[in-house]
Structure 1
Amino acid sequence: MRGSISKSKYILKILKSWSHLDVDAIILWWSKETVAVVTGGNRGIGLEICRQLAAHGVTVILTSRDPGAGLESIKFLSEVGLSLIYHQLDILDLSSINRFIEWLKENYGGLDILVNNAGINFNLGSDNSVENARKVVETNYYGTKSMIEAMIPLMKPSVVGARIVNVSSRLGRLNGRRNRISNAALREQLSDVESLSEELINTALSTFLRQVDDGTWASGGWPQVYTDYSLSKLAVNAYTRLMARKLSDRQEHEKIFVNCYCPGWVKTALTGYAGNNTVEEGADTGVWLALLSHQPITGKFFAERREINF
């Protein structure tokens, strides 16, 4: 009896936290058997996403490139009463990804939720160096892309659909008022989801990186603030829409819903702790998307639990 009361209070707490939604439409579909993988989970928004998912009762696999940092984060969460699993994962290392695939298959048979949080940024404040542009693009876009490609075959059949959540940024918006690429023809091509392709995304990034190498990027029409980070997130946003289209014809019970979201300007190491939002606020929409019951919502971009334009 006491356990039932405790569980009811826990469910009520969840529903109150989602109070702006229609409570009657919410189905708590997840359980301890639900497996969520979070990349870059050892600090900042990734760590908070892990914490919130675990607090909801999901089995969370926290991954990080550095085992020491990851295990320290697991220890920290255990001290607040949460039990998570750790596994090393470098999203830029194919052998690391393959080891993780085999371990995941052997121990859990797959996953239900993938949160692509791992990312880097070297520019703070008014600084806009592109010295690390190649590393930023490789990590934020190609690393995310590699994880999606690797995890799709392992996503478990489900009546509510598996979920992929990509942590992105408004800085990567195609048609935002600030910081957009000035090439109108390229913007139009990237806006057309029906003709969008990996080749188009890759070509745009390759052109930018080539201009970085030859020193002409500043006149190439690219964003003038957080340039490399913005382009890497623009690519993530485009790839989110592309994968949503590609996955849309999957059979029932094999559906995979893929969305991206902007956590806002969060006080983390990525922003030099100069943000306006807390990590709790930054993680909220990502967790909401991961656990959303009234699917199908796919190929969309969100912030503060509301859809925004690409």
Structure 2
Amino acid sequence: MNILVTGGAGYIGSHVVKTLLPDNKVIVLDSLENGHRKAVDRKAIFIKGNVGDKKILSWIFRRHRIDSVIHFAGYINVGESVKEPYKYYMNNVSQSLQLLKAMREHSTKRIVFSSSAAVYGNPERVPIPEDSRTLPINPYGSTKLMFERILADFGMDYVALRYFNAAGAAFGLGEDHRPESHLIPIILKKAMKDEKVTIFGDDYDTPDGTCVRDYVHILDLADAHVLALSKGEGAYNVGYGKGYSVRQIINEASRVMKKKVGFTVGPRREGDPDVLVAESKRIKKLGWKPRHDIRSIIKSAYSWHMANPNGYS
């Protein structure tokens, strides 16, 4: 199968590209604004460009006869989306519409979309099933939900994977956002420098006052994308159904690193829900079988950061 992976030089995208090879022809489109060329497997065809560039898209679909698309390209920082909503709607929605237009023009129907648990906002019940109310509380989540609706309106043959917190490392690849906004790499990198981690708020409606999230290993997440290329329709949660608070993740990182991770408490970040934990029965019915846990997630991430203290630089 000929598969176009937009944002394939990013953290999740690069792991999915590696998982797809060598059984498929993989074409990666990435602007490298946030992705890393070194993260893209050399067996993949790499094209530097923006997902909103009509000429590049037209050339890719003509030249490579794309069968399916996995769409990762988009901005992901919740806090930044609150401060710069225009940037998020322009990139995550407006420019992504060009991708759908190119797909329709070249009769490519199947698309797997990188959505997010952020579409739920503050959930009514936990664990969160897919039929829960969708009421995002930040522009990032709103753009994800809007694009899901666009996929349905366009009549695309689509799966939207609403994953919770991707984490961990594999294939010699890892997490290297600039700036880093994800908890586990922040904790590891701070602790490696003997610096304290800032907990953003300890007054949430959770047992220890800090946000609770459902973490999913990057390999399990990659497996979900490969599965979704041939199975399923509509939205699917991807998570383990077990939540960990910020304090619990700090404690687990301390055990993995065999050193105490220090922290301070700062003010809340705007747009952070109290609890996000998945109910993933739907995707498990398709055959998805997660193989990892929080210890292996943190251990794999720690190993990568120890081997790559400067990321991909």
Q: TM-score, length-normalised on structure 2?
A: 0.35
Greater percentage in helix: 1
Greater percentage in strand: 2
